Amino acid sequence: MVAEGLEHVVAAQSDFSCIGSAQDGRTAVERARELEPDVVVMDIAMPGMNGIEATRAIHDRSPGTRVIILSMHADREYVYRALHAGAAAFVVKRSAARELVDAIRAVYAGRSYFSAQIAEFAIGRHVGRGNPPDLLRILSAREREVLQLLAEGNGVADIAEALHLSRKTIETHRAHLYQKLDIQDLPGLVRFAIRHGVTTLE
């Protein structure tokens, strides 16, 4: 419903055109590569591959596409991780209907955009002040992906099938997660994933 509502907001602008949509992060990355949009509006809470990881992939594979992150949360860690992944804007969902058009125009023009409630510390991040430690940076992109899928309740066999990898490879990634994060069990991984924005309760 949020996506449909925002599509209507975009469609109401005579100089905007919505050329595609996606229901999960991995599909969003693929569609961005295929369609080469000027701007992607990315929900941070995407299943399978979250919006931050999808933003990172789009930034790496389609550098001409600018990404706007939408989130229910205005927490510093979410904002810092989004910016580190290459997002050009961060809009809080409760302000999206009012701010999205301005955000799209800003990032299309090569500028950044932040909702008012996060602007101060987002600008601090851009000038290198006050960055909190990011424990996720010690994980590889694949380990972060496996972490999200585990936290979302997927079993090893399901993850192996989804990522086209062997069960043994997934078990190895899981073991690395426990070791690197100093976590002893799956509930601990789930708590870590939620606390650090890998997956959310949205």
Angle at 178 between CA 177 and CA 184, to 5 degrees: 155
Q: Which of 104, 126, 148 is the last residue of a domain?
A: 126
Q: Is the pLDDT of residue 93 over 50?
A: yes
Q: Is the pLDDT of residue 88 over 60?
A: yes
In sequence order, the β-bridge partners of residue 69 are 42, 90
**Using 50, 70 and 90 to split pLDDT, how confident is the model at 133?**
low
pLDDT of amino acid 121: 58
Verify that 184 and 119 share a domain, yes or no.
no
Would you state the torsion angle of the CA atoms of residues 188, 177, 200, 125, taken in this order, to the nearest 10 degrees?
Answer: 120
Query: Residue 138, Cα to own-chain centre: how many angstroms?
Result: 18
Mean pLDDT of 128-139: 64
pTM of the complete model beyond 0.85: no
Q: Which residue, among 179, 175, 185, 181, has the nearest Cα to 198 in the 3D structure?
A: 181
The span from the CA of 54 to the CA of 60, in Å, is 10
Q: Which of 103, 126, 149 is the last residue of a domain?
A: 126
Q: Is the pLDDT of residue 127 over 70?
A: no
- Main-chain dihedrals φ then ψ at residue 70, nearest 5 degrees: -110, 135
Domain that holds residue 86: 2-126
Verify that 118 and 148 share a domain, yes or no.
no
Verify that 45 and 108 share a domain, yes or no.
yes
Asked if 121 and 113 touch (Cβ cutoff 8 Å), the reply is no
Verify that 29 and 116 share a domain, yes or no.
yes
pLDDT of amino acid 123: 58
Please enumerate in sequence order all residues whose Cβ is within 8 A of that of 67, keeping only pairs 6 or more positions apart, or say none.
39, 40, 42, 55, 58, 59, 86, 87, 88, 89, 107
Kindly report the CATH number assigned to the domain that includes residue 94: 3.40.50.2300
